[in-house]
């Protein structure tokens, strides 16, 4: 679940329906071009079939502080670049040029100053991840990639339940196999990062789509066996986007108990969980509830038309929400009105994916790769 080419499906026309009303937004010329350029699966059709609307109408009372939105947008940049076909070491070594207008990381300012610790590829389906350090915030960031290949997608479809080693529930067998193949490498990379940067004040684990599911499984292991990772009381923040369900209710309850246990031992700030789902993203509705799987997050967030809302616990399994119409600005056209799996934090991940592919192609030849890249951009403009 992530950056896979989309099947041949018809477009939705030149207007887009908002989730909270029957209002339709007339697409701008730029938005029409944006949607016509989509090549990845956005799972909107899954949302239409599988996602249920919550009876709870979101309002301004559900909007978290602005600093939460800003923080998630920052960390989201680290989750998004895991989809790059170009090694992340090259990305961090060439940030200045890659952030120029027209280049893949245009607007990715949160990556500034970050230095890579390690990049790794798991034994199951070549799932990748990396660890980086942000000196200005003293954060160590572990990021897992979402689905990028058909082989990985086949693991996504292995929905049979596997008994979790904790004996506290069952886990999605495909996600479990992907996680097992990358676990040791991820632990080794984080340990190396902690050794290299003794001043780490926050450990962040992030991922988009299937990468978020793997992030959860990683922290379940770390929290149930502290000997795996010497983080002690260092605050941990889990930041995931568009995550599918990967454990049953018993395992989800075990996750909650692990969080409570860590907070009781190290304090309330020792673990913070941010799980974000977005309008028209069908992935958080998979696998279906009828398969027995549930979300781990008790109070997830919902991203709609540039705004972030916190979902009440009793409505956490719903994939769609209405919003109080009286609080909507009728004069503001959403940047990404159709929503979808690749439009979190106000960014167009489709654009990043296209540009990253052009970058990979430009790096294959000899000579000035920057000029070859600019030529590709000009060709597709």
pLDDT tens per residue, range 89-136: 999 999 999 999 999 999 999 999 999 999 999 999 999 999 999 999
3-state helix, strand, coil in the chain (%, to 5): 40, 20, 40
* Per-residue model confidence as pLDDT tens digits over 43-64: 999 999 999 999 999 999 999 9
5 has a pLDDT exceeding 60: no
Q: Tokens for 335?
A: 């940047």
- Where are the domains positioned within the chain? 28-380
* Per-residue model confidence as pLDDT tens digits over 277-288: 999 999 999 999
CATH homologous superfamily of 28-380 equals Alpha/Beta hydrolase fold, catalytic domain (3.40.50.1820)
Mean pLDDT taken over the chain = 93
Half-sphere CA count of 120, side-chain side, radius 13 A: 23
Rounded-to-integer distance, Cα 242 and Cα 281, Å: 7
* Per-residue model confidence as pLDDT tens digits over 289-339: 999 999 999 999 999 999 999 999 999 999 999 998 766 665 567 899 999
**Three-state DSSP class for residue 148:** coil
Q: What is the pLDDT of residue 13?
A: 33
Please say whether the beta carbons of 280 and 321 come within 8 A. Answer: no
Rounded-to-integer distance, Cα 330 and Cα 332, Å: 6
Q: What is the pLDDT of residue 19?
A: 42
Task: Give the residue-averaged pLDDT of 74-91.
Answer: 97
* Per-residue model confidence as pLDDT tens digits over 211-258: 999 999 999 999 999 999 999 999 999 999 999 999 999 999 999 999
**Which residues is 131 bridged to in the sheet?**
118, 142
Q: Tokens for 149?
A: 């290949």
The answer, as to whether pTM is greater than 0.75, is: yes
Rounded-to-integer distance, Cα 274 and Cα 300, Å: 7
pLDDT bin (cut points 50, 70, 90) of residue 17 is: very low
Task: Give the residue-averaged pLDDT of 190-202.
Answer: 97
10 has a pLDDT exceeding 50: no
21 has a pLDDT exceeding 70: no
Instruction: Collect contacts of 155-160 with beta carbons under 8 A, ≥24 apart.
Output: 155/124, 155/125, 156/1, 156/210, 156/244, 159/287, 159/291, 159/293
């Amino acid at each position: 679940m992530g950056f896979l080419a989309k099947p041949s499906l018809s477009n939705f026309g030149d207007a887009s329906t908002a989730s909270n009303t029957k209002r339709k937004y007339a697409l701008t010329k730029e938005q029409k071009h944006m949607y016509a350029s989509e090549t990845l699966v956005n799972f909107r059709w899954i949302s239409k079939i599988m996602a249920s609307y919550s009876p709870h109408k979101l309002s301004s009372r559900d909007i978290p502080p602005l600093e939460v939105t800003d923080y998630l947008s920052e960390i989201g940049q680290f989750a998004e670049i895991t989809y790059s076909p170009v090694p992340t070491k090259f990305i961090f070594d060439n940030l200045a040029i890659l952030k120029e207008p027209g280049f893949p990381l245009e607007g990715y300012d949160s990556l500034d100053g970050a230095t890579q610790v390690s990049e790794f590829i798991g034994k199951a389906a070549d799932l990748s991840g990396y660890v980086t350090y942000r000196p200005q915030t003293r954060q160590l960031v572990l990021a897992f990639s979402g689905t990028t290949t058909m082989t990985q997608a086949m693991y996504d479809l292995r929905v049979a339940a596997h008994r979790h080693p904790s004996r506290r529930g069952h886990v999605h067998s495909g996600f479990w196999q992907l996680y097992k193949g990358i676990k040791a490498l991820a632990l080794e990379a984080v340990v190396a990062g902690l050794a290299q940067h003794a001043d780490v004040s926050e450990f962040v684990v992030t991922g988009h789509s299937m990468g978020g599911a793997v992030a959860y499984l990683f922290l379940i292991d770390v929290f149930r066996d502290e000997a795996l990772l010497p983080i002690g009381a260092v605050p941990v923040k889990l930041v995931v986007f568009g995550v599918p369900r990967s454990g049953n209710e018993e395992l989800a309850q075990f996750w909650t108990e692990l969080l409570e246990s860590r907070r009781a031992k190290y304090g309330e700030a020792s673990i913070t969980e941010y799980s974000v789902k977005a309008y028209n993203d069908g992935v958080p509705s998979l696998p279906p509830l009828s398969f027995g799987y549930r979300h781990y997050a008790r109070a997830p967030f919902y991203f709609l038309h540039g705004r972030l809302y916190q979902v009440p616990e009793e409505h956490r399994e719903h994939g769609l929400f209405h919003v109080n119409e009286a609080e909507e600005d009728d004069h503001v056209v959403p940047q990404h009105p159709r929503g979808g799996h690749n439009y979190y934090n106000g960014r167009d991940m489709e654009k990043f994916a296209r540009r990253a592919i052009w970058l990979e192609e430009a790096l294959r030849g000899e000579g000035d790769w920057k000029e070859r890249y600019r030529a590709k951009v000009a060709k597709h403009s």
